[in-house]
Chains A and B, each alone.
Chain A
Amino acid sequence: MKGEASDLVKITGIPASGETADEATRRRFLELMGASISLATGAGCTRPPTDFLMPYSSDPPENVIPGRPKYYATAAVMNGIAEGVIVESHLGRPTKVEGNGQHPASLGATSVHSQACVLDLYDPTRAKEILYKNQISSWESFIVEFQRVFEAIREARGRGLSILTETVVSPTLAAQLSRLSMELPEARWHQYDPAGPHSARAGAMTAFGRYVNTYFRLDRADVILSLDSDFLAIGQASTRYAHDFAFGRRVRGTNTRMNRLYAVESSLTATGGKADHRLALKYSEIGRFAAELAAAIGTPGIAAAGNQFATWTGPLSRDLMAHRGASAILAGETQSPALHALAHAMNATLRNVGTTVIYTDPLEARPEDQIASLHQLVDDLESGSVRMLLILGGNPVYNSPADVEFAAALDKAPLSIHLGLHADETSRAAHWHVPESHFLETWGDARAYEGTITIMQPLIEPLYNSHSAIEFIDLFFQIPGWNGQRIVRNYWMANSKAPNFEHWWRESVGRGLIANSALPEIAPALRPIDTSSLVQEANAQGLELVFRPDPFLYDGRFASNAWLQELPKNMTKLTWDNAVHVSPRTAKRLNLKPQHVVEIRFRSRTVKGSVWISPGSADDTVTIHLGYGRRYAGVVGNGAGFDAYLIRPSDAMWHGSGAELHPTGETYPLATTQMELSMEGRTIIISKPIDTYRTDPDFVRRINPEPAENETLNPQWSFTGYSWGMAIDQTACVNCSACVIACQAENNIPVVGKLQELFHRDMKWLRVDVYFTGDDEHPKFSYQPVPCMQCENAPCELVCPVQATVHSSDGLNDMVYNRCVGTRYCSNNCPYKVRRFNFLLYSDWYTEQLKMQKNPDVTVRSRGVMEKCTYCVQRIREAEIRARNENRYIRDGEIQTACQQVCPTGAIIFGDINNPDTEVSRLKREKLNYSLLAELNTRPHTTYLAELRNPNTEMPA
């Protein structure tokens, strides 16, 4: 089958970017898809092996109706941890990822990364061919070379074989690796993830003497303390955490229960911005803070270490102790192991273990100190004892610590093979590069943050000559006719223990998870905690350097994803670059100006970056994000930002003191989509303490009175059928930006590039605005997602000379692309500035792969026309047709806009506001509901629920 597929690929070879590479065409897709769907079983959710290919055009397969998408469950994986997703497929093209409502990590929502992964699949710069020393080679030549070296290794019982993987969680891959170590006991397996939970692992080891997996049940927590943890935005459990967090502060009517979030952090994160109380502390002081707090709550074995932060730890400890068993203390991945251990101890003291804090066995197949593992590998390479190095995924040449000379060591290996999605830095340094299949092209399995297993199924045959890690490892076992499905299926046939395997298989694959596969709770015994290192650290002098994973590019693996590159960073709204973040006071002290280039000197290594002043950063702290400065990440990733790995030593993976900043006198422009963070005293986001609402629930009406209905000369709209509307709960929004990417994927929104972003020509229909109030030292942040307001008295409709934007009978403000001549008057007249203009031909009309990603239900806009949020009108129309065929009204919740569907916190609610019984109508009757810029009498159909905070009155203001 493989051979046939490859032959088909070769029907149309299109040379791209200097390489002669085969690119799939739409026709090939239909052919392959026809084959795969025609063989699909009745359940429609699984995809058995395709043993032959059949053209779609001659014999349409059963169950496929053109124009009606199909949905398949699988999982998006990062650091080995899964988030369950459902992927929409149009005639065999996966186009959009949605959350899997049954999956514990998703509950129907997804992270930004899962949303964006579909673009990775179609990335035109993905690796397409096997490379030998950066020249196109063939699979046959590779096998010859592989066998030659492997024969010798096999005879030496694996001596000389080293495998470097990212964190392995997949049961199938783990089984393969353990079988390999049985067959080749001398072979070595190393793991390295640059931004993985190294501290959490080491912290668990310190606290319990063993590795454990920790997760939180924030739905049971009334008081949450984040110690530098960006749990709402980063990590494979963030979607679930955001969901649980937001549902703990869902104020409706007289239900005013609200959890409380404290955040102590060195850099500004989305989680900190959401906190009811936020304290910006130098990285090194957070340890002391935690130690003082631990003493204050009476953690056994912790002596009072001082009361430097008594104004905070006093009321905080009282609040925590008042909520024993219903509080949670989360230590950030970037904090030290000692702090993680202390957090475990504090959670135990607060009796949170088993209620809000759950321990299980580790998810990883082999938890270990990955830094040590990488050091070991490099030592082996240096000593010449490695004859074959196999790098399965990852990009260690780019992202290994600065003191680990991985690239130099790699040169010493007689044979190095890199399996990767892109021909990246490591591929260029290795002898062989083998293209890796995207997870939407392969079979596999993975565990969620609490252990639930998903069997991942492909949505599409591999676009290129690529293989998955599971398929690749099978090379060692010499099984003829290997393919991913057979390997995964065989593993589960042996391990599922199901009485009826076929039934179990279909059910598990189809649902996207294996029922009851979550890891059981354990109760590890706590060891005595030593806080001396934490307290000592606080005495550090000079500037502190903090490394953080980028919220969107993460460790750099998404650098070639244009959607994520252009997604405005959740707090700074920067696009296409990382920056050197410093607080306003530090910037003033060091005389730093935004967008001026500084040289960061850290332990005799240097890197240059552009300064960005972030209110909310701790003083004397320099925050830089990983994932930028890629050299071989395709046209999208190359040249964006600077490479923080260059100065990141393995003994200071997340922070170190003694950094120096030296202005270079150069400037480097940074593109931000939001220049002004202040509300300028205008009523934009109404934010009040919950107590205000409890005593005076009508405060919103008073602050922001709605104009009377008759305050217009124009006739009123009356809606006889549906009238679509949206309510956005600003208390729930945690600024994860998943809605922005979901909108982009659903509505074929183009990316424009950094230059156009500098011109302020962003195209995203939905944006999440961040405002801060208060002074630079104590800023309070609020988030506001802004889609089109679909005004009834729409200012844009009035001024369009050609009636290209008109009102629909169901309350939408329609945009007629064909009719638009591009006067941009509508944008001038839009007080919310939600209209976007194609100043140039931004949509990619030519790249074959990108055509396949497009949503066929949405027009791909050309140059010179205006566009804007449509409330996902294609989804409305689809539901309308369905309802009409079934002779019924559209049910509440039947239509979800893309932003609503992906939102983990349920902050966006859409529905018919002409029907008083819908969820959105109920929200609009809430006393917190208000219209943005109500005084303009635009009568928007998108309204906001005022943000409520839950401050502790005992805390310092």
Chain B
Amino acid sequence: MRVAERQQQTARPILPVERTDLPLVAPGVTFRSLTGRVVANVLQPDVPLFWFWCYLAAIAAACVFSTALAIVLDVGIGVMGNNIPVAWVFPIANYVWWIEIAVGGSLLSSILRLTNQGWRSSINRIAESVTLAGIVCAGLFPIIHLGRSWVAYWTLPYPNTMIIQPNFRSPLVWDVFGIGTYALASVLFWYMDLLPDLATMRDHATSRISYFLYGLLSLGWSGASHHWRLHERAGLLLAGILTPLVFTVHTVVSFDFCISLVPGWHSTIFPPYFVTGAILAGISMVALMTTWVRSSFRLTSIITERHLNNLSKLILTTSVIMAYVYVFEPFINWYSGNYFDIYSTYVRSAGNFAWTYWAFILLGLGVPQLLWWKKNRITPRRLFVIALLIVIGMWLERYMLMVTSLSRDYLPSYWANFAATGADNALLYGSIGLFLCIFLLLIRALPMIPMYEIRMLLPLSKPGGGSVK
């Protein structure tokens, strides 16, 4: 292993590869065993029982989602609990949360790819599936949230006889472009990354239909060195495009808040704060899904403790940055001397929704600190629970941002509280079902492990690799 590592280092000496005693791929994995394991999971005719039950539960939750959606569209968004002044709550909190979750995959496939973090390969596909499913959920909520969802397209600049264009001064229009670009780049990247594996699937197809479909999707990939060269170049290019997007998309999302003059939102710390929060939530979600898929599909040999360890370290790092934000923001509010900003700090920590603030401090900032202990980092069950708590904490944080600021703004006469309704909850929990639905379908229909990348990691693919074990 050390030999392989050293060889990797000499081959791509951009950044030092981390030194660890944990292996990246379990000893004994060969090309054949790897491909067999991954392909079998996809093409195996019998539905695995656990997958079936999970999918059934997810479909049920997604049905709840669509029912709630139908009611919201038919009756009006008044079935949700929003009011004036608290005009944005669940749909926007859900939207920000899902777009944060989506970023985990993008981070792995862009920045970590550019910095040659070889360990990301095994979990890259899972992370990108999280991204895709997350983007679908995130994209729905801003539309659901509209009073008149059927005219959501008015936010797009399209030629029309009235020559009315969207208001380019509005952060919501920036959002449309920000999310749109991000979604497009993510889908392209995911698909491009999938091509060699789709070809493998085609080659292992057991039925004519799957042969046809995978064949169609693999776009005639033949494994020619010409293909590989183009593939590599496109991958780098898209990773380069996606890298700034990871930051811009969350910066733009944060503009929805910090451009406004709502006390507690109107703050320059919001862009880095949102990016950090997104990485925390996104990586936690990736860790959550990875530990789950790893044990369910028995992928311990491909997704090793080292992956869990690295994900945990990422979570730990971002949580520390988040903690810094949470120390600094009250300080800046106090230092500004602005009454309303000081009051917003007070409201968050001691107001009517203070529980959300402290719940986030506990779940989003406190729980990740458990990852200082290695046992917690590499034990899948522990990591699963920790990641789940962080993901919940991150939703609470978005919720806290909405309700604390909006319910207590400038004129006390129009302060009000917020109470979620059944529709609010149905859409939130239902969207988790929708997410799982998409995710489960993706890992069933497509190889959940990027085989071609793992192959490159195997000793066999290294010069003299055949001699290693």
Which of A144-152, A187-195, A815-823 contacts the other chain?
A815-823
Bound-state CA distance A155–B169 (Å) is 86
Within 8 Å by CB of A822, from B148, B164, B169, B259, lies B148
**Contact present for A837 and B409 (CB under 8 Å):** no
Which of chain B's residues have a CB closer than 8 A to the CB of A684? 411-413
CB distance from B117 to the nearest CB of A (A): 38
* Interface mask (A201-220 → B, CB under 8 Å = 1, otherwise 0): 00000000000000000000
B152 contacts partner chain A, Cβ-Cβ < 8 Å: yes
- Among B87, B173, B259, chain A packs the most CB atoms within 10 A around the CB of B87
Report if A771 contacts B (CB, 8 A). Answer: yes
Min C-beta distance of B168 to chain A, whole Å: 9
CB < 8 Å neighbour of B84 from A680, A829, A835, A864: A835
Residue from the set A770, A825, A865 with the largest chain B CB neighbour count within 10 Å = A825
A823-845 residues with Cβ-Cβ distance < 8 A to B are 823-825, 827-829, 831-833, 835-841
Given the interface pairs A837-B87, A865-B147, the reply to whether A933 lies near B410 with Cβ below 8 Å is yes
Please determine whether B416 and A760 come into contact, CB atoms closer than 8 angstroms. Answer: yes
From residue B409, how far is it (CB to closest CB) to chain A in Å?
Answer: 7
A186→B364 CA distance, assembly (Å)? 87
The residues in B between 397 and 447 inclusive whose CB is less than 8 angstroms from any CB of A are 406, 409-417, 419
Stretch binding the partner chain, chosen from B73-81, B199-207, B245-253, B323-331: B73-81
Interface size class of B (residues with CB under 8 A): 35 or more
Query: At the interface, yes or no: B172 with Cβ under 8 Å from chain A?
Result: yes
A833 touches B154 (CB 8 A): no
Q: Does B260 sit at the interface, judged by CB under 8 A?
A: yes
Flag if B148 contacts A831 (CB, 8 Å).
no
Given contacts A682-B339, A682-B412, contact A759 B147 (CB under 8 A): no
Q: Provide the residues of chain B in CB contact with A802, threshold 8 Å.
A: 154-155, 164, 166-167
Known contacts A680-B343, A822-B148, A840-B75: A799-B260 contact under CB 8 Å: yes
CB < 8 Å: which of A771, A821, A829, A933 contacts B151?
A: A821
Residue from A675, A676, A677, A820 within 8 A of B147 (CB atoms): A820
- A682 to B339 CA separation, bound complex (whole angstroms): 8
Q: What A residues does B88 contact at CB under 8 A?
A: 824-825, 828
Measured CA separation A506–B164 after assembly (Å): 54
Q: Of residues A759, A838, A932, which shows the largest number of chain B Cβ atoms within 10 Å of its Cβ?
A: A759
Q: Is A936 an interface residue (CB 8 A)?
A: yes
Known: A821-B152, A933-B410. A829 touches B147 (CB 8 A): no
Q: Select the residue from A675, A676, A802, A933 with max chain B CB neighbours within 10 A.
A: A802
Residue contact B412 to A823, C-beta cutoff 8 Å: no
B170 within 8 A of A: yes
Q: A866 vs B413: C-alpha distance in the bound complex, in angstroms? A: 20
A308 at the interface (CB under 8 A from B): no
| Interface assignment of A360: CB less than 8 Å from any CB of chain B | no
Of B83, B86, B145, B419, which is within 8 A of A823 by CB?
Answer: B145
CA–CA, A864 and B152, complex, Å: 12
Interface set, chain B 146-167, CB cutoff 8 A to A: 146-148, 151-152, 154-155, 164-167
Give the tally of cross-chain contacts (CB within 8 A). 166
Q: How far is the CB of A675 from chain B (nearest CB, A)?
A: 6
Closest Cβ of chain B: how far from A566's Cβ, in Å?
Answer: 15
How far apart are the CA atoms of A684 and B415 in the complex, in Å?
Answer: 14
A676 contact set on B, CB distance < 8 A: 412-413, 415
Q: Could you say which interface size class chain A belongs to?
A: 35 or more
B82 touches A821 (CB 8 A): no
Interface residue? A786 (CB, 8 A)? yes
CB 8 Å contact bits of A663-688 with B (1 = contact, 0 = none): 00000000000111111111010000
Q: How far is the CA of A835 from the CA of B85 in the complex (A)?
A: 9
Q: Encode A748-760 as 1/0 by CB contact (under 8 A) with B.
A: 0000000010011
Tell me whether B261 and A795 are in contact (CB under 8 A): yes
Q: Is the CB of A831 within 8 A of B410?
A: yes
Cβ of A605 < 8 Å from any Cβ of B? no
* B262 interfacial contact with A, CB 8 Å: yes
> At the interface, yes or no: B171 with Cβ under 8 Å from chain A?
yes
- Tell me the complex Cα distance, A802–B148, Å: 12
Q: Does B217 contact A (CB under 8 A)?
A: no
Interface pair B76/A839, CB less than 8 Å apart: yes
Whole-angstrom distance between the Cβ of B107 and the nearest chain A Cβ? 28
Q: Give the residues in chain B near A803, CB-CB below 8 Å.
A: 164-167
Question: How many angstroms from the CA of A799 to the CA of B169 in the assembled complex?
Answer: 7
| B76, B256, B262, most chain A CB atoms within 10 A | B76
State the A residues within 8 Å of B (CB): 674-682, 684, 756, 759-762, 767, 769-771, 784, 786, 795, 798-803, 819-825, 827-829, 831-833, 835-841, 863-866, 932-933, 936
Known: A674-B414, A759-B419, A865-B147. 10 other contacts (CB 8 A): A676-B415, A684-B413, A761-B83, A784-B413, A802-B167, A822-B77, A822-B148, A825-B88, A829-B260, A864-B146
16 inter-chain pairs at a CB distance below 8 angstroms, sorted by A residue, are A676-B415, A680-B412, A682-B411, A771-B412, A786-B413, A798-B169, A799-B259, A822-B148, A824-B88, A828-B85, A831-B410, A833-B409, A840-B79, A865-B147, A866-B147, A936-B410
7 nearest A-B pairs in the assembled complex, by CB-CB distance: A822-B147, A864-B147, A839-B78, A840-B78, A824-B87, A801-B172, A769-B413
